[in-house]
Amino acid sequence: MPDAYTLERAGAVRAAIRRDLVPRIGPWLLAPALELPLVAERLGSGRGGAWRVELPGGLRVVVRFYRRGGLVACVVRDTYVGPRPRPLHELAVTVEARRRGVPAPEVLGARVEGGLVYRGALVTAEVPHARTLFAALREAAGDGPRCALAARAGLAVARLHDAGVYHADLNLTNLLVGPAAGDDIVVVDFDRARVREGPLGRRARRQNLARLERSLAKLDPEGTLGGPALRRAFAAAYGAGAEAACGS
């Protein structure tokens, strides 16, 4: 458990909570059932388990319930089995990634309901006015702004890999774009991510970047979001660690 967090228990529920927030969100996270406010806003990306919530006192957070994907989801939707609960693992990985300089949202708490068989949820600070990279690319006015977004994404992913973090689901919806051009692109969803001692090696980088490429091909099969120019801008920024010039 990272130093800034404490593990609290209430019956069958465990919650890792940032220490200073225990009085504010502890009773809510440790309740027998995690209830969302009526005004919670469902987020469109992912597997349908993420909500934007304003808690009492004006604390704005994103709550993500753990949901299975693939064929397993046809049988079991939100139940997991194992001695190392994924919410607690994701909290620890995200905290370490942030410590190493990765632009990622702060985790405020992680909830585990049950023992060896469990359900889980993660609570992170909201990234204000953020859109997914895919949404930002679709809304951008032309190749120039799209290439600028790709360059920003290249820098963010380079920081992720240089920090030794392998993201298990690197895709265009797990990269969030802030409203200002100078904002870091924020990496989210560190479920099943792994942290290495040093920077990622070439093989791990290629595998992770190939996953990102597959995401672009799946979301933009016609190649309408920039094509080769977009890829060049990303690659130049990723490789150089500096802003890429579009059209070179």
**pTM, rounded to two decimals:** 0.88
Report the pLDDT value the prediction gives residue 242, as an integer from 0 to 100: 38
Report the pLDDT value the prediction gives residue 243, as an integer from 0 to 100: 40
Contact 29, 120 (CB under 8 A): no
Report the pLDDT value the prediction gives residue 75, as an integer from 0 to 100: 59
Report the pLDDT value the prediction gives residue 73, as an integer from 0 to 100: 47
- Write out the residue limits of the CATH 1.10.510.10 domain(s) in the chain: 131-240
Residue 247: pLDDT band (50, 70, 90) is very low
- What secondary structure letter does DSSP report for 108? E
Q: What is the pLDDT of residues 188-214, one digit of tens each?
A: 999 999 999 999 999 999 999 999 999
Nearest of 211, 158, 215 to residue 184 by alpha carbon: 158
Report the pLDDT value the prediction gives residue 241, as an integer from 0 to 100: 53
**β-strands 107-114, 117-125 pairing:** antiparallel
**β-strands 131-132, 107-114 pairing:** unpaired
Whether pLDDT at 226 is above 50: yes
Whether pLDDT at 245 is above 60: no
Report the pLDDT value the prediction gives residue 233, as an integer from 0 to 100: 93
Report the pLDDT value the prediction gives residue 57, as an integer from 0 to 100: 82
Report the pLDDT value the prediction gives residue 244, as an integer from 0 to 100: 36
- Write out the residue limits of the CATH 3.30.200 domain(s) in the chain: 5-125
Distance of CA 139 to the CA centre of its chain: 21
Higher-confidence position of 184 and 134: 134
Domain 131-240 belongs in CATH node 3.60.15.10: no
Whether pLDDT at 94 is above 90: yes
Distance CA 160, CA 208 (A): 11
Report the pLDDT value the prediction gives residue 222, as an integer from 0 to 100: 87
- Mean pLDDT, to the nearest integer, of 212-240? 89
Q: What is the pLDDT of residues 26-70, one digit of tens each?
A: 999 999 999 988 888 888 655 557 899 998 888 899 999 998 765
- Mean pLDDT, to the nearest integer, of 141-161? 93
Residue 72: pLDDT band (50, 70, 90) is low
Catalytic positions, please? 169
- With b for 16 or more beta-carbon neighbours within 10 A and e for fewer, the 229-239 pattern comes to bbebbbebbbe
Instruction: Please give the CATH architecture assigned to the domain spanning 5-125.
Output: 2-Layer Sandwich (3.30)
**β-strands 5-10, 13-18 pairing:** antiparallel
User: Which range has the worst mean pLDDT, 63-67, 117-121, 169-173, 222-226?
Assistant: 222-226
